[in-house]
A and B are shown apart, each in its own frame.
Chain A
């Protein structure tokens, strides 16, 4: 297929509206910018944010055209919720790295009895991804001091699958979070990175 995708690195993040996907996306984009790349991102706003499944897409390289990641081309894929890790798995390239949080958020469709939450999510993730890091991101973040930093834990692990320098990540985290949460988020990032 004629495509310039080869020179562009694609990242996909998935989760549930309200989990901090947009902040995570901003950190990846900033890290790539700091590393000197052209960057494009895309996020979902509006109706899809009310507790629904959300994905964010980040692409960087010397020259980036589409802000959207084609299925099967993401170099890394991060999911903040384990079923969302399965739902959007097809974005990852066959040799890509997947980082999935073990956290489970039960959708209303399950609560109302219309659907079943799969209990074998971890096994299914292992079967789908050849390179999988399955992280207790919520537990790690809670131990550090704030469950809301789960997104940055996932990014830490995810960063091992990308070619951006560690300094760029640290600076991107520091720039993207409020100053009073900077140290906590940098620790979350390092904890995540050590899971890889």
Chain B
């Protein structure tokens, strides 16, 4: 049977077919939909969201060492969090096939950096698979599971935005079960105390040498002989752009790209006159090809920043051939004077009330990653730093202790609080900080599409469970001032914030209201502008609500299909010019 599947759907299908029994992860674009699709196979695959990627990785590692085929999913920056268990699992090795599925985001469509996960494969010394479409995404999961078991080593499957979110045709197959689960005690394998780890270190190099040989004949790697005047070494989605840009050239397509299949690279390059390495992001293949003593072109023609594409490679080709880049025969982009349409906090978003209140004070706001990152944009402009998940809490403390003269407020979401905010909170209590911490708790992991988390009361597999109480965690960490607010009560929020900023001790504020998109309910009754009362002061427009449409020289208008009835505009209006729509008519 053939189906049109996204790369992420295909990876989930691949896990099913490869006999995976455990799937674990933390949401992150572009990887999120993998587990959301694995859940369709929950009869045979236990699957769950973990509080963060390190926990997810360790859960999968435990399952694998007990004998279950396991996958763990995350976005590229998630592997930074999970790097600790990765580096040592490479030493101890695994039992049931183990694949860390990591989705990179070249071009930073939804990310704070564009790090290249291939470095991690080499860093940790584990095999790396890189599919170029959905069929390969599915097939390579099986390859990765097989290689992982054969060499008792964790594998990485690296996807990216275009592989994960493109849909291509996939031929479905059947499920193959792995060996039965049953942990076998073996301290020399699973306990890397120095005496054991030194032996593991040697064994790891031996595994790599054997994998290097096998990769030369493995079906994930292939040579496509065409015209031999140019041979291109490429990988992942870049292969697709290469085939369109140089349809006549010979290609070495690396699907199992690390350990480098040296003999295959030498065989290929010996068969062509000129060698070009086309890789997205870093020059990893190019550097190694040169290290083999092979003369090649690469980043001297191919961009090393952002995504590749057929037009970008066509420009590279023109440069290589010393031609002018053919002028596009298309109209130039007509968008120079168009109004921008950046992503914004949704109408009725509970975060808006918090940012509005923060706007009343001269404070520094250190934030992190989630929908509320959008609070950094105009007109709210009320977040001053973003570094990483949970970072806002710890950085707030650092600023305070550095002697920053203004008050500092750290912000995290509920999911990022569970991810890595708790340790930061503990640090503030322990080290006598004074920052104000706000958890904007909308009861879900909203930005990635509403995944459950430890506070939301349900598991990925759909079972009801505990809903962890953030206030209790705060108190358990040693925070004495803990307050819960409704972010739509503007005056109360502003007042509380004023009190806490001057408390002289750490304060935890939980702003709690469920994401209206998630619970699929408006916040309240739709509002309307009474034009006769409106003084056109534009205060309501400073909320940055997409439902509030400013009009030149006229009273603003509230878009009736967008308004979620949160009433923030109603509360900030000083002239009673905003009212509940049904009460006006």
Contact = CB atoms under 8 A, between A and B. Distances in A.
A118 B337 contact: yes
B343 A72 contact: no
B30 interface: yes
Interface in A117-142: 117-118, 124, 128
A42 B165 contact: yes
A86 B334 contact: yes
Given A38-B169, A67-B240, A45 B310 contact: no
Contacts of B433: none
Interface residues of A, number: 60
Given A4-B243, A44-B165, A46-B448, A112 B341 contact: no
A115 B329 CA distance: 30
Interface stretch (A87-95, A152-160, A183-191): A87-95
A104 to B, nearest CB: 10
A29 to B, nearest CB: 6
B466 interface: no
Given A40-B167, A47-B110, A49-B343, A67 B162 contact: yes
A72 B317 CA distance: 18
Given A40-B133, A71-B328, A90-B330, A112 B166 contact: no
B340 A70 contact: no
A128 B339 contact: no
A147 B168 CA distance: 30
Interface stretch (B45-53, B65-73, B475-483, B538-546): B538-546
Nearest to B318: A1
A64 B237 CA distance: 13
Contacts of B567: none
A49 B335 CA distance: 20
Interface in A15-58: 16-17, 29-30, 33, 38-53
A5 B326 CA distance: 15
B418 to A, nearest CB: 20
Contacts of A110: 339, 549-550
B345 interface: yes
Interface string B539-566: 0011011101110100010010100000
Contacts of B334: 86-87, 89-90, 124, 128
B340 A107 contact: yes
Contacts of A116: 339, 552
B258 interface: no
Interface string B158-177: 00001001111100000000
A84 B109 CA distance: 19
Contact of B328 (A72, A84, A111, A117): A72
Nearest to B108: A47
Contacts of B326: 1
B314 A3 contact: yes
B346 interface: yes
A153 B561 CA distance: 20
9 contacts: A39-B4, A46-B30, A46-B110, A46-B448, A51-B546, A67-B166, A90-B328, A92-B330, A118-B339
Interface of A: 1-5, 16-17, 29-30, 33, 38-53, 64-68, 70-72, 83-84, 86-87, 89-94, 106-118, 124, 128, 147
